[in-house]
C-alpha cells in the first residue's frame, strides 16, 4: 500500500540526543511513518484509520512487536488511539489514530515571493520527509535505520549546498547506533547513489609520532525522489571515487586481515587517513529554501 502523502513534516528536535527518536527507537519511528499510508484528509487533526493487522502487514513486524511499538508511540505522546481496552481489541479491529507532536507552522512569503511553511516557535523547526523516496528506500532493501539516518542528515545540512559535516561519532551517538553501523550506512547509501560523501582535507594529525593527513566528510543526502536522477549525475564522480577507494581498501584488508573482529567493517580507516571529529554544525533552520521541490 502506498503512502497517502508525498511529503510530511517531522519536528527536527525529535533527532536531538535523548529526545523522541532516542526514546522510541528506529522500529517505532518506521511504524509512525507507516501510519501515513492510512491518513484521512479533511480532519481537524492528523488522523489515520487502520488496524493492528494492517500495520503488521506493512511493516513486516510480528503482531506482538507491532503492538509493543505502537504502545511505545502512545507512551511518549507521539500518537493517541481510539482503543481504550487492549485486552478486548481484536487484531483486525478498526481504530482511529491521531498524530500529536506535529510542528506548528504558518504560511509566509519569502523575499522572492515564494511561499513556505515557517515554524511558529523554535520547537516547531521541522524536517521535510519525502515519503515517495522513503518507499524507494524500502523497496530496495533499506530499512528503519537508513530512514532515521536520512532524517538526521536532513536536520544537520545547514547551508545552501545542503552539506552535513557531522562526524561519524556524533551521528552514532545521536541515533544510538554503533560507529560501524553508521560507516556501513554511509557506504551503502553511496553505493546505492542515494547520498554523496566527499573527503575534504582538514590538516594533519600526529599519531604515535607519525604525521598523517586528516580528513573530514561532507555528506549530501538526496532528499527528493523527483530530483534523484539529476543529483546522482551531479555526484557521479564523487561516488565513483568513493566506491573505488573503499573497494581497494577492502581488498587490501582481505589479503592481510588486521582486525581482531572479522565482522567489524573498518573500510573507512585506511592506514593514511584519519577521519577528523567535526563539531561545527548547526541544525537546518532555513525554510525559505526548503520547499518540497528543493533538489536536496
Give the per-residue pLDDT at 252.
Answer: 85
Taking a C-beta distance cutoff of 8 angstroms, is the pair 134, 33 a contact? yes
Closest CA to 213 of 267, 276, 265: 276
CATH class in words for 157-253? mainly alpha
- Averaged pLDDT score across all residues of the chain: 85
Of all helices (H) and strands (E), which one includes residue 159?
none
Q: Is the pLDDT of residue 271 over 80?
A: no
Helices assigned H by DSSP within the chain: 20-34, 52-59, 63-75, 131-139, 144-155, 168-175, 179-191, 228-234, 236-255
Q: Is the pLDDT of residue 179 over 60?
A: yes
Instruction: Write the pLDDT tens digit of every residue in 116-151.
Output: 899 999 999 999 999 999 999 999 999 999 999 999
Instruction: Write the pLDDT tens digit of every residue in 45-104.
Output: 999 999 999 999 999 999 999 999 999 999 999 999 999 999 999 999 999 999 999 999
Give the per-residue pLDDT at 275.
Answer: 39
Question: What is the topology classification, in CATH, of domain 1-109+117-141?
Answer: Arc Repressor Mutant, subunit A (1.10.10)
- The residue extents of the domains of the chain are 1-109+117-141, 157-253
Q: Angle at CA 74, nearest 5°, toward 73 and 75?
A: 95
Domain 1-109+117-141 matches domain 157-253 at the CATH topology level: yes
Q: Percent of the chain, pLDDT > 90?
A: 66
- Going by C-beta distance under 8 Å and a sequence separation of 6 or more, which residues neighbour residue 239? 190, 191, 193, 196, 232
Confidence of residue 204 (pLDDT cuts 50, 70, 90): low
- Separation CA 47–CA 40 (nearest Å): 6
What is the residue-wise DSSP string for 108-129?
EE-TTS-EEEEESSGGG-EEEE
Amino acid at each position: 500500500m502506498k503512502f497517502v502523502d508525498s511529503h510530511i513534516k517531522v519536528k527536527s528536535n525529535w533527532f536531538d540526543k535523548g529526545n523522541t527518536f532516542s526514546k522510541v527507537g528506529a522500529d517505532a519511528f518506521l511504524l509512525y511513518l507507516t501510519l501515513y499510508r492510512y491518513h484521512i484528509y479533511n480532519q481537524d487533526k492528523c488522523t489515520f484509520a487502520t488496524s493492528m493487522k494492517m500495520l503488521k502487514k506493512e511493516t513486516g513486524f510480528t503482531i506482538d512487536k507491532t503492538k509493543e511499538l505502537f504502545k511505545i508511540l502512545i507512551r511518549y505522546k507521539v500518537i493517541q488511539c481510539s482503543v481504550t481496552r487492549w485486552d478486548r481489541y481484536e487484531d483486525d479491529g478498526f481504530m482511529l489514530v491521531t498524530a500529536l507532536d506535529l510542528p506548528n507552522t504558518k504560511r509566509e512569503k519569502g523575499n522572492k515571493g515564494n511561499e513556505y511553511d515557517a515554524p511558529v516557535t523554535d520547537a516547531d523547526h521541522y524536517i521535510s520527509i519525502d515519503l515517495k523516496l522513503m518507499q524507494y528506500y524500502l523497496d530496495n532493501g533499506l530499512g528503519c535505520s537508513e530512514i532515521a539516518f536520512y532524517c538526521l542528515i536532513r536536520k544537520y545540512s545547514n547551508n545552501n549546498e545542503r552539506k552535513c559535516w557531522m562526524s561519524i561519532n556524533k551521528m552514532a551517538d545521536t541515533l544510538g547506533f554503533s560507529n560501524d553501523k553508521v560507516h556501513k550506512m554511509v557506504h551503502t547509501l553511496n553505493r546505492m547513489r542515494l547520498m554523496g560523501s566527499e573527503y575534504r582535507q582538514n590538516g594533519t594529525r600526529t599519531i604515535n609520532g607519525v604525521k598523517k593527513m586528516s580528513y573530514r566528510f561532507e555528506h549530501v543526502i538526496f532528499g527528493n525522489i523527483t530530483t534523484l536522477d539529476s543529483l546522482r549525475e551531479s555526484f557521479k564522480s564523487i561516488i565513483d571515487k568513493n566506491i573505488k577507494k573503499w573497494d581497494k581498501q577492502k581488498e587490501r584488508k582481505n589479503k592481510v586481515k588486521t582486525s581482531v573482529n572479522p565482522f567489524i567493517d573498518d573500510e573507512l580507516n585506511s592506514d593514511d587517513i584519519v577521519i577528523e571529529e567535526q563539531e561545527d554544525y548547526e541544525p537546518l533552520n532555513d525554510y525559505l529554501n526548503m520547499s518540497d521541490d528543493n533538489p536536496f
